[in-house]
């Protein structure tokens, strides 16, 4: 089967959503299918079965295919750790720290790595569903594009172009995108989709006719926004749609380089906090993971959130740090090799009797753990560095190998375990909250139905032929 490539007119139009839907639809039809994205930029990642990490969106798509996350599914992952630089992960492993202005020097090599991973994956599966990044028509990036239509051209993929209508401008974005594409790449685009429509779709019938006539390609469908379907978000751009403050019981510090914010989806809705909230007492405040613990800790202090956290604790709030947030809760964070920051050392918040030294190698693994009450659960770790605890500490949990993990004090928890608070039993034991987690399988199935029921059947089958 020819590979299917999902491109977009912009970021946040639903490329990951469509790719996940196609993955589950093909899997339900009995096709051996796998996801692929040549290059991803996100601090949301997930451990691979063979070690290493890939972007969370491709791990989600792998779940929809009923596969484990594999490094070849996302061979290049950029994890921003400063306004102008990123840690570059290649085929699952940390490769280099690169400034944006220098990245172009490496794109030829990285393009070859991406093709290598794709070929290896395509040799194992009947169908590959590929996802692009941002807009496919970034004209200033054509010569060094490794993840959009230059890549689709290299693998001879069928291309579906997705546009979002929710924020307006759908006509200009579709017409302008195709107009800017080189002729060889434009020929790859076999259909377009209009996503996130609200209301009666018959009101857009004239719009579909205009676009099909102007673009010379058919419309796969006008797809409604369905907030009842939930899948993990690719990056923190989705947080921009969340209400800033609604005086809820749970608050999460929105660090500038936040990572793995999916840790809080089972607890949603939560308040995302960027500055002190006056006259509101939270029950729980989380400090999430971050790609740059040292610099984000300094940002937290500039925002005076360190004092605010103390006030929240005195008022009865539990303070919980996950991964980088756990490191911040300690007495000191050292970065002698400047792995994340040019600042070599910073004083921690002092909530827990621990200290951290950032160093290689990077830990990326899934783990089995057991709570103090004996509940067994699965979680995962993705972090640089080692956290040392003072004698006599109370651990958060015990790992299957017998080692203790994390640290607890009255009203304070620190842990490296992402996904721990997805489990109702863990939440009930440590937070005294009842949650009803969503079934991912159910949502993937509903997503496949959403795709099939809203698509023009003939065009859908042509894309999958």
Q: To the nearest whole percent, how much of the chain has pLDDT over 90?
A: 87
**Alpha-carbon gap, residue 108 to 102, rounded angstroms:** 13
Neighbours of 225 (CB within 10 A): 15
* Mean of per-residue pLDDT scores for the chain: 94
Give the gyration radius of the chain's Cα atoms. Answer: 23
Q: 130, 219, 383, 418: which one is catalytic?
A: 418
Task: Please count the residues of the chain.
Answer: 465
Lowest mean pLDDT among 22-26, 175-179, 246-250: 246-250
Is residue 449 located within the same domain as residue 419?
A: no
Residue 325: which CATH number?
A: 3.40.50.880
Domain shared by 148 and 65, yes or no: yes
Q: Are residues 137 and 250 in the same domain?
A: no
Q: pLDDT digits over 176-209, tens only?
A: 999 999 999 999 999 999 999 999 999 999 999 9
Active site residue 307: no
- Helix H or strand E segment including 97: strand 93-99
Question: How far are the Cα atoms of 197, 203, 286, 390 from residue 200, in angstroms, in the given order?
Answer: 8, 6, 40, 62
In this prediction, residue 344 carries a pLDDT of 82
Is residue 321 within 8 Å of residue 413, measured between CB atoms? yes
pLDDT in tens, 292-323: 999 999 999 999 999 999 999 999 999 999 99
DSSP state for residue 240 in the 8-state scheme: G
Query: 328 or 141: whose pLDDT is higher?
Result: 328
Q: pLDDT tens digits, residue range 396-437?
A: 999 999 999 999 999 999 999 999 999 999 999 999 999 987
Query: 243 pLDDT exceeds 60?
Result: no
Does position 220 have pLDDT exceeding 60, yes or no? yes
**Parent domain of 400:** 243-437
Identify whether 236 is part of a domain.
no
Catalytic residue among 323, 383, 407, 423: 323
Residues 323, 408: one domain? Answer: yes
Position 291 in a domain: yes
140: CB partners within 8 A, 6+ apart: none
DSSP string, 327-346: HHHSSEEE-TT-SS-S--EE
pLDDT at 337: 87
> Per the structure block, which two tokens stand in for 318?
């539990």
Please tell me the predicted confidence (pLDDT) of residue 256: 96
Secondary structure class of 408 (helix, strand, coil): strand
Q: Say what the pLDDT of residue 237 is.
A: 53
- The pLDDT of residue 438 is 73
DSSP 165-211: -TTS-HHHHHHHHHHHS-HHHHTTEEEEEEEEE-S-GGGGHHHHHHH
Q: Looking at the structure, do residues 172 and 260 belong to the same domain, yes or no?
A: no
Number of domains in the chain: 2
Higher pLDDT pick, 237 / 215? 215
* Cα(224)–Cα(82) distance, integer angstroms: 36
Are 257 and 210 found together in one domain?
A: no
Q: How far is CA 159 from the centre of its chain?
A: 23
Which has the closest alpha carbon to 460: 220, 267, 149, 239?
220
Q: Is-catalytic flag, 48?
A: no
Query: Same domain, yes or no, for 412 and 453?
Result: no
Percent of the chain having pLDDT more than 70? 97
Tokens, residue 36: 């692929």
Backbone phi, psi, residue 387, to 5°: -110, 125
* Top-confidence residue, 337 or 113: 113
């Amino acid at each position: 089967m020819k590979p299917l490539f999902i491109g977009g007119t912009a970021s946040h139009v639903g490329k990951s959503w469509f790719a996940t839907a196609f993955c589950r639809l093909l899997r339900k039809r009995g096709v051996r299918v796998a996801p692929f994205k040549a290059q991803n930029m996100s601090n949301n990642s997930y451990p691979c079965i063979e070690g290493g990490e890939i972007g969370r969106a491709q791990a989600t798509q792998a779940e929809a295919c009923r596969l484990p996350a594999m490094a070849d599914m996302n061979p290049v992952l950029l994890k921003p750790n400063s306004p102008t630089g990123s840690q570059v992960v290649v085929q699952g492993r940390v490769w280099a720290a690169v400034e944006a202005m220098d990245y172009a020097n490496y794109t030829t090599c990285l393009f070859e790595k991406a093709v290598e991973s794709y070929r290896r994956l395509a040799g194992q599966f009947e169908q590959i569903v590929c996802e692009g990044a941002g807009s496919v028509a970034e004209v200033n990036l054509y010569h060094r594009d490794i993840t959009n239509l230059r890549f689709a051209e290299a693998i001879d993929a069928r291309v579906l172009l997705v546009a979002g209508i929710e924020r307006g401008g759908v006509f200009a974005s579709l017409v302008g995108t195709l107009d800017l594409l080189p002729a060889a790449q434009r020929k790859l685009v076999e259909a377009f989709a209009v996503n996130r429509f609200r209301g009666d779709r018959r009101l857009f019938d004239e719009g579909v006719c205009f676009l099909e006539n102007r673009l010379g390609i058919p419309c796969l469908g006008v797809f409604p926004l369905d907030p009842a379907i939930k899948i993990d978000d690719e990056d923190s751009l989705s947080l921009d749609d969340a209400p800033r403050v609604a005086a809820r019981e749970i608050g999460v510090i929105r660090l500038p380089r936040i990572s793995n914010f999916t840790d809080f989806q089972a607890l949603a809705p939560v308040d995302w906090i960027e500055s002190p909230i006056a006259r509101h007492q939270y029950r729980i405040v989380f400090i999430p993971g971050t790609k740059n613990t040292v610099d984000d800790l300094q940002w937290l202090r500039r925002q005076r959130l360190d004092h605010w956290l103390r006030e929240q604790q005195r008022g009865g709030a539990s303070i919980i740090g996950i991964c980088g947030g756990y490191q911040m809760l300690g007495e000191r964070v050292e970065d002698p090799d400047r792995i994340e920051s040019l600042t070599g050392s910073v004083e921690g918040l002092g909530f827990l009797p621990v200290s951290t030294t950032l160093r290689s190698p990077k830990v990326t693994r899934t783990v089995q753990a057991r709570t103090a009450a004996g509940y067994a659960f699965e979680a995962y770790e993705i972090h640089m560095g080692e956290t040392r605890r003072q004698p006599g500490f109370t651990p958060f949990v015990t790992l299957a190998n017998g080692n203790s993990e994390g640290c607890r004090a009255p009203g304070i928890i620190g842990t490296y375990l992402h996904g721990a608070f997805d489990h109702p039993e863990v939440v009930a034991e440590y937070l005294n909250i009842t949650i009803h987690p969503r079934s991912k399988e159910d949502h993937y199935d509903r997503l496949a139905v959403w795709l099939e029921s809203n698509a023009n059947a003939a065009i859908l089958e042509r894309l999958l032929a």
